[in-house]
Every structure is written in structure tokens, then in C-alpha cells.
Amino acid sequence: MSNILYVSSSPRGSASYSNRVAARVIRELRQADPQTTVTVRDLAQDPVPHVDVDFVTATRSADGPRTERQRAILAQSDALVAELLAADIIVIAAPMINFSVATTLKSWFDYIARAGRTFSYSEAGPKGLVSDKRVIVVSASGGIYSGENAAFDFQVPWLRNMLGFLGMTDVEVIRVEGTALGPEAADKALERATAHARELVGALAAA
């Protein structure tokens, strides 16, 4: 049995290309293992607050949280970290917004990047503490950024680096590209991504 953490960040709900392909990934994973459990973290419907002074005090102060709001922030961060650590597979549905990730997804990473919990520092440098995870990122974009326009892609490289910093290096990316280039292009992008999702899950199931 596997535990899946599904993190979605598109404000477009079921119309979102990243959500649609991610949902397909999860269906395929559950078909391969019917006992799989899925925890859903919908950041569009239930956004994580942006980092502020209370967050810094709650998570980094030697004295710890001192107010009710700070205690609530720490509890939320702890819960998000616990969800991450309990997962075997993390599926992230990530629409590209202004060449990068949604601010809601950035905030989620801010809340799970906790020194001593998900990474550590030493004389040898930082070390990710979130190990033995498989991550599937579904990246959806209106344009095509896997080729000559790769210099504009601040989304997938950032996600790979952030995940790697936390110790998650087994990362597969499914791209849904060119969805803004007309209905036919969008349909073909969805078809290619769906086929990639099927192949990827098949390989995982066979491993």
C-alpha cells in the first residue's frame, strides 16, 4: 500500500490542465494498487498564508510561538510537514503563472521547508531530510518552454531545486505545454501528457 500526497495549486479547478492530468496520474496509481490512500492538499481552495513576522517567530524563534496566531501557524506548518513525511508518492499539479509557480504553491514550500525537520545545515552544507519519496510534477503552461524558450521557465527548474534541497531527488515531470495556442494544440498537449502519465505509472508499477 502506498500513501499519496496530492498537492494542487491551480485556481481553475476541474478546468485546470495540471489538475486534469494529475487526477489521471492518481487514478492510474490507484488502479495499480487499490489499497493506495490519497491525501489532497488543494492550495487554491485552502491557501497557506504567506510568510510574515508571526511565521518567523513561530518557527525560528528560540522562545517559540507566543501568541495564539503564532501557535496556529506552527501547528499548520507541523501538519503540512507531517503530511509530506507520511507520503510515499507526492503528486504536484503546478500551473505556470508568469513563468513560475503559483504563489500558493510557493507558500506551501515555505511552510514545509523547516530546519531540523525537512532539511539541516552543517559544516558540510545543507542536507535534505525528506528521503525515499517519489515525486511526480504535472507542469501546465500556455506556451512551450521545454525547447528554445527554456530560459523563460522558472517553474520546473525551481521545483526540481526546491524538492532536491529537501532531499527529494526522484522527480518526474509531465508537461502539458502549449494549451494557449488554440483548441487543437491544447487537445494534443493533453493527449501527450495523458500518455506520458500512463507510461510513467506503468513503469512505477513494474519497478
Which CATH code fits 3-206? 3.40.50.360
Domain positions in the chain are 3-206
Interval 129-186: pLDDT, tens:
999 999 999 999 999 998 888 999 999 999 999 999 999 999 999 999 999 899 999 9
| Mean local confidence (pLDDT), 6-11 | 95
Higher pLDDT, 92 or 207: 92
pLDDT at 207 over 70: no
Q: What percent of the chain has pLDDT over 70?
A: 99
How far apart CA 181 and CA 187 sit, in angstroms, is 10
Q: Identify the band that residue 206 occupies on the pLDDT scale cut at 50, 70 and 90.
A: low
Grid coordinates representing 104 are: 500558493
pLDDT at 204 over 80: no
How far apart CA 101 and CA 10 sit, in angstroms, is 10
42 vs 104, 117, 195, CA distance in Å? 10, 23, 24
pLDDT at 124 over 90: no
